[in-house]
């Protein structure tokens, strides 16, 4: 999962988008795309939480025989491990870090990723869906997987969100 100076991180949600991930983890460098087997992508909220900065459900993975989740393997400096954990709200118990085997064209990699605790289904906001789809396109995930992401239903939220921070950076 890690060498002396960096670790592998498998992103499948908003952190697919480089600009989103690098808000708090500037050392993140694209390595490759890959899949994790026997998982499915889902969207929801943590426990009794009724909202988050994305104003809708956020991505998590759940065990599911025969399914797969596409994502990006990022190489991140060990110095940013705590930052990534904070972004994923590990200390608040929202997500737990787990190790997954990612199948890539180069072979299998052990990577850190995150799985939501106390998951409660909730559809994503249009802004969250947009970031996930942009990240999938930016990194060349398979077109049929991108199309699947593009068909996700949203909650039609129209206010501000974390997407505004990403948009500000791109200006």
**Residue range 2-22: mean pLDDT, rounded:** 90
Residue 171 included in any domain: no
Residue 104 included in any domain: yes
Residue 165 included in any domain: no
pLDDT digits (tens, 9 = 90+) for 50-93: 667 889 999 999 999 999 999 999 999 999 999 999 999 999 99
Find tokens 């499948």 and name the residue: 12
Determine the pLDDT at residue 50. 64
What percentage of the chain has pLDDT greater than the value 90? 84
**Residue range 2-10: mean pLDDT, rounded:** 83
Find the CATH number of the domain harbouring 86.
3.10.490.10
Residue 107 included in any domain: yes
Host domain of residue 33: 6-160
pLDDT digits (tens, 9 = 90+) for 19-46: 999 999 999 999 999 999 999 999 999 9
Quick one: pLDDT band at residue 163, thresholds 50, 70, 90?
Answer: confident
Residue 74 included in any domain: yes
Residue 86 included in any domain: yes
Cα–Cα distance, 170 to 77 (Å, whole number): 23
Residue 67 included in any domain: yes
Mean pLDDT, rounded, of the chain: 92
CA-closest candidate to residue 33, choices 19, 21, 16: 16
Q: Measure CA 163 to chain center.
A: 14
Residue 51 included in any domain: yes
Sign of the alpha-carbon dihedral angle for 119, 108, 30, 70: negative
List, by residue number, the catalytic residues: 88
Determine the pLDDT at residue 49. 73
The secondary element (H helix, E strand) that includes residue 50 is none
Cα–Cα distance, 50 to 83 (Å, whole number): 24
**Residue range 1-9: mean pLDDT, rounded:** 77
Number of domains in the chain: 1
Determine the pLDDT at residue 26. 95
């Amino acid at each position: 999962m890690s060498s002396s100076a960096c670790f592998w991180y498998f992103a499948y949600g908003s952190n697919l988008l480089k600009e989103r991930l690098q808000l708090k983890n500037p050392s993140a460098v694209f390595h490759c795309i890959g899949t994790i087997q026997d998982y499915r992508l889902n969207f929801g909220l943590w426990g009794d939480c009724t909202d988050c900065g994305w104003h809708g459900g956020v991505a998590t993975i759940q065990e599911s025989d025969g399914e797969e989740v596409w994502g990006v393997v990022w190489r991140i400096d060990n110095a940013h491990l705590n930052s990534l954990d904070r972004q994923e709200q590990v200390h608040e118990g929202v997500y737990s870090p787990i190790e997954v085997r990612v199948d890539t064209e180069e072979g299998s990699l052990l990577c850190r990723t995150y799985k939501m605790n106390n998951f409660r289904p909730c559809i994503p906001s249009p802004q969250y869906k947009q970031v996930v789809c942009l990240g999938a396109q930016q990194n060349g995930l398979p077109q049929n997987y991108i199309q699947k992401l593009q068909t996700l239903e949203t909650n039609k939220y129209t206010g501000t969100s974390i997407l505004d921070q990403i948009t500000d950076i791109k200006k």
